């Protein structure tokens, strides 16, 4: 390897260099943690013809469950569909043994929905566009694990 290091900064990620970083990080992470245990999880609401009207997408790992995405068709919002999607998502995660649930959301998304479902803000980040705040929210369901253990 050449001992001279050449530095560069890009506004876009060069495909080849980005792939090398992804692969290198993947190898390092696989050595450090059992990432093969991470499992995808999702719940969907569909019309009778199969059209997706909304969905919750995330993953579980050990006792933790991360909600990565929640979306409901704009014409159907504020009808409880999002709450039902999250609840179904959480129930499946609980069946896998999860007791800690977490997510990130922006102030222009639905932090009030997550609060109504028992999530609490544990981190607030400001500095995005004016008035936009990012929240990390967590919900613990230790009592659910205790019930299953009995």
**Residue 85 to residue 89: CA distance in whole angstroms:** 6
What is the per-residue pLDDT for 43? Answer: 96
**Residue 7 to residue 42: CA distance in whole angstroms:** 41
Give mean pLDDT in consecutive 10-residue pieces for the chain, a chain of 150 residues: 84 93 88 82 96 96 96 94 97 96 95 96 94 96 59
Question: Could you tell me the two tokens for 45?
Answer: 């609401």
What is the per-residue pLDDT for 100? Answer: 97
Number of H helices, E strands in the chain: 4, 6
Residue 101: strand, helix, or coil = strand
Q: How many other CB atoms are there within 10 angstroms of residue 82's CB atom?
A: 22
Beta strands of 47-142 (E only): which ranges? 52-61, 64-72, 100-106, 120-125, 134-140
What is the per-residue pLDDT for 3? Answer: 83
Does domain 40-149 sit in CATH 3.40.50.720? no
What is the per-residue pLDDT for 146? Answer: 53
**Residue 3 to residue 141: CA distance in whole angstroms:** 52
Beta strands of the chain (E only): which ranges? 39-46, 52-61, 64-72, 100-106, 120-125, 134-140
- Residues found in the chain: 150
User: Do the beta carbons of residue 67 and residue 84 sit within 8 Å?
Assistant: no
What is the per-residue pLDDT for 86? Answer: 97
Give the pTM.
Answer: 0.82
What is the per-residue pLDDT for 37? Answer: 81
């Amino acid at each position: 390897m050449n001992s001279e290091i050449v530095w560069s900064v890009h506004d876009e990620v060069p495909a080849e260099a980005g792939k090398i970083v992804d692969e290198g990080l993947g190898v390092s992470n696989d050595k450090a943690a059992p990432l093969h245990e991470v499992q995808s999880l999702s719940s969907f609401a569909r019309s009778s013809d199969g059209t997706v009207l909304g969905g919750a997408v995330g993953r579980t790992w050990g006792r933790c469950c991360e909600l990565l995405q929640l979306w409901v068709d704009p014409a159907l919002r504020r009808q409880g569909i999002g709450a039902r999607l999250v609840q179904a998502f959480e129930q499946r995660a609980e069946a896998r043994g999860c007791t800690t649930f977490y997510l990130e959301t922006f102030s222009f998304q639905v932090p009030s929905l997550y609060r109504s479902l028992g999530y609490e803000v544990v981190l607030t980040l400001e500095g995005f566009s004016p008035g936009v705040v990012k929240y990390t929210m967590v919900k613990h369901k230790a009592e659910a694990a205790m019930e299953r253990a009995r």
